[in-house]
Structure 1
Amino acid sequence: MKLLKIPFFLLGIVLFLSSCRTEEIQIIDPPIENALVANTTVATLMKNTVAKDGSHDNIIDKASCLSVKLPVTVTVNSKEVTVNDENGYEEIENIFDLFDDDVDSIVISYPIEVILSDYTVKTVNSDEELAVLSQNCKGENEEDDDIECLDFNYPLTASVFNANYEVVLTITVNNDEEMHELIEDLEDYTAVTIDFPFKVILNGDTYIYINNMQELEEAIEAAKNTCDEDDDNDYNDDDCDDCTTNQLIDIFAQCEEWRIDKLEIGGQEFEDYYVGTTVYFRSNNTVKIIKNGDIFEGSWETSGEGNEIKVTINIPNFEKFNKTWYLHEISDYEGEVKVDLRLGDDRLRFESFCNNATTTGDDLSEVLTATNSEWYIEKYLDNTIDETTNFEGYTFLFQTSGIVKAISSTTTDAGMWKSLTSSSKFYLEFTSNEVLQELNDDQWEVISISASQVKLQALSNSGTETDTLIFVKK
Structure 2
Amino acid sequence: MKTLKFTLLLLSTLLILSSCRTEEFQIINPPTENALKADSPVAKLMTRTVLKDGSHDNIVDKASCLSIKLPVTVIVNSKEITIKDDDGFEEIEDIFNLFDDDVDKIEIVYPVTVILSDYSTITVNSDSELEGLMLDCKGENEEDDDIECLDFEYPFTASVFNENNDLILTITLENDEQLYKLIHDLKDYAAVTINFPIKVKLASGSVVTINNLEELKDAIEAVANTCDEDDDNDYDDDDCESCTTNQLKEIFAHCEVWRVDKLEISDVDYTDNYTGASFYFRDNNTVKIIKSSGDVFEGTWEASGEGTELKVTIDVDGFDKFNKTWTLHEISDYQGEVKVDLRLGDDRLRFESFCNNGNTSGDDLSDALTEENSVWVVEKYLDNDVDETSDFAGYEFYFFTSGQVKAKTTTTVDEGMWKSLNEATKFFLEFTTNDVLQELNDDDWKVVSISATQIKLEASSNSGTETDTLIFTKQ
**TM category, shorter:** 0.5 to 0.7
Distance (whole Å) between structure 2 residues aligned to residue 186 and residue 206 of structure 1: 30
Question: 1:435: which partner in 2?
Answer: none
- Judged with a 3 Å threshold, the aligned counterparts in structure 2 of structure 1 residues 312 and 123 are, in CA distance, closer, same or farther, namely closer
Q: Establish whether residue 56 from structure 1 lines up as the match of residue 90 from structure 2.
A: no
TM (normalized to structure 1)?
Answer: 0.52
Distance (whole Å) between structure 2 residues aligned to residue 255 and residue 35 of structure 1: 56
Secondary structure class of the residue paired with 2:94: helix
Question: 1:434: which partner in 2?
Answer: none
Distance (whole Å) between structure 1 residues aligned to residue 311 and residue 327 of structure 2: 6
Question: 2:148: which partner in 1?
Answer: 148
Q: Establish whether residue 84 from structure 1 lines up as the match of residue 84 from structure 2.
A: yes
- Judged with a 3 Å threshold, the aligned counterparts in structure 2 of structure 1 residues 215 and 300 are, in CA distance, closer, same or farther, namely same
Question: 2:342: which partner in 1?
Answer: 339
Which residue identity does 1:222 align to in structure 2? A
Q: Give how far 1:249 is off.
A: 10
Q: How does 1:290-305 map to 2 (within 5 A)?
A: 301-302=302-303
Q: Give how far 1:42 is off.
A: 0.4
- Judged with a 3 Å threshold, the aligned counterparts in structure 2 of structure 1 residues 23 and 103 are, in CA distance, closer, same or farther, namely same
Contact 2:265 2:348 in 1 (8 A): no
Distance (whole Å) between structure 1 residues aligned to residue 218 and residue 53 of structure 2: 22
Q: Establish whether residue 99 from structure 1 lines up as the match of residue 99 from structure 2.
A: yes
Q: Give how far 1:159 is off.
A: 0.5
Q: Establish whether residue 40 from structure 1 lines up as the match of residue 37 from structure 2.
A: no
Q: Give how far 1:18 is off.
A: 2.3
Contact 1:339 1:350 in 2 (8 A): no
- The CA deviation string for residues 115-162 of structure 1, in whole angstroms up to 9 with x for no partner, is 000000100000000011111100000000101111111111110011
Contact 1:330 1:339 in 2 (8 A): no
- Judged with a 3 Å threshold, the aligned counterparts in structure 2 of structure 1 residues 127 and 204 are, in CA distance, closer, same or farther, namely farther
Secondary structure class of the residue paired with 1:45: helix
Q: Give how far 1:22 is off.
A: 4.7
Which residue identity does 1:327 align to in structure 2? L
Contact 1:149 1:225 in 2 (8 A): yes
- The CA deviation string for residues 66-125 of structure 1, in whole angstroms up to 9 with x for no partner, is 000000000000111110001000000110111111111000000000100000010000
Distance (whole Å) between structure 2 residues aligned to residue 16 and residue 67 of structure 1: 55
Secondary structure class of the residue paired with 2:237: helix
Q: Give how far 1:352 is off.
A: 3.5
- Judged with a 3 Å threshold, the aligned counterparts in structure 2 of structure 1 residues 191 and 95 are, in CA distance, closer, same or farther, namely same
Distance (whole Å) between structure 1 residues aligned to residue 201 and residue 311 of structure 2: 31
Contact 1:68 1:115 in 2 (8 A): yes
Distance (whole Å) between structure 1 residues aligned to residue 118 and residue 91 of structure 2: 28
Distance (whole Å) between structure 2 residues aligned to residue 249 and residue 350 of structure 1: 23
Contact 1:338 1:351 in 2 (8 A): no
Work out the percentage of aligned pairs sharing the same amino acid: 59
Contact 1:75 1:81 in 2 (8 A): yes
Question: 2:355: which partner in 1?
Answer: none
Q: Give how far 1:172 is off.
A: 0.6
Distance (whole Å) between structure 1 residues aligned to residue 165 and residue 330 of structure 2: 56
- The CA deviation string for residues 11-32 of structure 1, in whole angstroms up to 9 with x for no partner, is xxx9997246554431111111
Distance (whole Å) between structure 2 residues aligned to residue 57 and residue 195 of structure 1: 34
- Judged with a 3 Å threshold, the aligned counterparts in structure 2 of structure 1 residues 311 and 216 are, in CA distance, closer, same or farther, namely same
Question: 1:211: which partner in 2?
Answer: 211
- Judged with a 3 Å threshold, the aligned counterparts in structure 2 of structure 1 residues 87 and 18 are, in CA distance, closer, same or farther, namely same
- The CA deviation string for residues 371-410 of structure 1, in whole angstroms up to 9 with x for no partner, is xxxxxxxxxxxxxxxxxxxxxxxxxxxxxxxxxxxxxxxx
Secondary structure class of the residue paired with 1:99: coil
- Judged with a 3 Å threshold, the aligned counterparts in structure 2 of structure 1 residues 308 and 150 are, in CA distance, closer, same or farther, namely farther
Q: Establish whether residue 161 from structure 1 lines up as the match of residue 164 from structure 2.
A: no
Q: Give how far 1:351 is off.
A: 4.2
Question: 2:225: which partner in 1?
Answer: 225
Distance (whole Å) between structure 2 residues aligned to residue 110 and residue 100 of structure 1: 29
Q: Give how far 1:245 is off.
A: 5.2
Secondary structure class of the residue paired with 1:238: coil
Which residue identity does 1:18 align to in structure 2? L
Distance (whole Å) between structure 2 residues aligned to residue 36 and residue 309 of structure 1: 50
Distance (whole Å) between structure 2 residues aligned to residue 71 and residue 108 of structure 1: 12
Secondary structure class of the residue paired with 1:101: coil
Contact 1:72 1:84 in 2 (8 A): yes
Secondary structure class of the residue paired with 2:29: coil
Distance (whole Å) between structure 1 residues aligned to residue 196 and residue 75 of structure 2: 49
Contact 2:342 2:348 in 1 (8 A): no
Question: 2:17: which partner in 1?
Answer: 18
- Judged with a 3 Å threshold, the aligned counterparts in structure 2 of structure 1 residues 239 and 176 are, in CA distance, closer, same or farther, namely farther
Question: 1:328: which partner in 2?
Answer: 329
- Judged with a 3 Å threshold, the aligned counterparts in structure 2 of structure 1 residues 143 and 17 are, in CA distance, closer, same or farther, namely farther
Which residue identity does 1:179 align to in structure 2? L
Contact 2:162 2:191 in 1 (8 A): yes
Aligned-residue Cα RMSD (Å) equals 4.2
Which residue identity does 1:110 align to in structure 2? Y
- Judged with a 3 Å threshold, the aligned counterparts in structure 2 of structure 1 residues 326 and 104 are, in CA distance, closer, same or farther, namely closer
Contact 1:245 1:309 in 2 (8 A): no
Contact 1:65 1:116 in 2 (8 A): yes
Distance (whole Å) between structure 2 residues aligned to residue 112 and residue 215 of structure 1: 41
- Judged with a 3 Å threshold, the aligned counterparts in structure 2 of structure 1 residues 209 and 351 are, in CA distance, closer, same or farther, namely same
Contact 1:150 1:204 in 2 (8 A): no
- The CA deviation string for residues 323-376 of structure 1, in whole angstroms up to 9 with x for no partner, is x99833389xxxxx9834xxxxxxxx544489xxxxxxxxxxxxxxxxxxxxxx
Higher Cα Rg, which structure:
1
Distance (whole Å) between structure 1 residues aligned to residue 76 and residue 196 of structure 2: 48
Q: Give how far 1:224 is off.
A: 1.3
Secondary structure class of the residue paired with 2:110: coil
Distance (whole Å) between structure 2 residues aligned to residue 216 and residue 103 of structure 1: 46
Question: 2:138: which partner in 1?
Answer: 138
- Aligned pair count reads 280
- The CA deviation string for residues 169-208 of structure 1, in whole angstroms up to 9 with x for no partner, is 1111111110011001000001000101111111162111
Question: 1:112: which partner in 2?
Answer: 112
Question: 1:263: which partner in 2?
Answer: none
Q: Establish whether residue 68 from structure 1 lines up as the match of residue 71 from structure 2.
A: no
Which residue identity does 1:50 align to in structure 2? V
Which residue identity does 2:35 align to in structure 1? A
- Judged with a 3 Å threshold, the aligned counterparts in structure 2 of structure 1 residues 158 and 256 are, in CA distance, closer, same or farther, namely closer
